[in-house]
């Protein structure tokens, strides 16, 4: 079964796409937790950080490069947070690796 995010990548489900290249896509979270909340999603269907191998290191690094690009594009000059939720205790709800980019307001630390 393709994941929800694979369906977005395939344009089978609509999304507000803010960036795309050959390795990843980024779109606005449907239930934003901050004024800017974008998900950076690799086109390779990795389940979570647990699924990442050394061979994926360049891809994961690329996700952070894209996150910084999006933060600049969104004008997040006061800072932003990048988060991978892994597994149920962390609140992962979509089993396709994704990097949250959150900003546009002060973000509490530690998270809940």
**Binder to ligand AMP among 9, 15, 99, 102 (CB under 6 A)?**
15
Minimum distance, C-beta of residue 36 to ligand AMP, in the bound complex (Å): 13
Euclidean distance between CA atoms 49 and 62, whole angstroms: 14
Catalytic residue check, 96: no
Q: Please select the residue that binds ligand AMP; options are 18, 25, 34, 92, rule is CB under 6 A.
A: 92
Backbone φ and ψ for 81, nearest 5 degrees, come out as: -120, 140
Q: Which residues contact 42 (CB under 8 A, 6 or more apart)?
A: 23, 24, 59, 60, 63, 97
Nearer to ligand AMP, 10 or 13 (CB): 13
Query: Residue 54 or 81: which CB sits closer to ligand AMP?
Result: 81
Chain length of the chain: 112
d(CA 8, CA 2): 10
> Hey, how many other C-beta atoms are within 10 angstroms of the C-beta on 83?
15
In the range 41-70, which residues lie near ligand AMP by CB under 6 A? Answer: none
* Residue 59 or 83 with smaller CB distance to ligand AMP: 83
- Residues lying near ligand AMP in the complex (CB under 6 A): 4, 13, 15, 27, 29-31, 39, 85, 91-94
């Amino acid at each position: 079964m393709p994941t929800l995010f694979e369906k977005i990548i395939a344009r089978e489900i609509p999304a507000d796409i803010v960036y795309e290249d050959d390795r990843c896509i980024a779109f606005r979270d449907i239930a934003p937790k901050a004024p800017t909340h974008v998900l950076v999603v690799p086109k390779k269907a990795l389940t979570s950080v647990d699924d990442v191998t050394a061979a994926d290191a360049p891809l994961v690094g690329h996700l952070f490069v894209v996150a910084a690009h999006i933060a600049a594009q969104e004008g997040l000059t006061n800072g932003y947070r990048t988060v991978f939720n892994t597994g149920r205790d962390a609140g992962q709800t979509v089993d396709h690796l994704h990097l949250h980019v959150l900003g546009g307001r002060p973000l509490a630390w530690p998270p809940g």
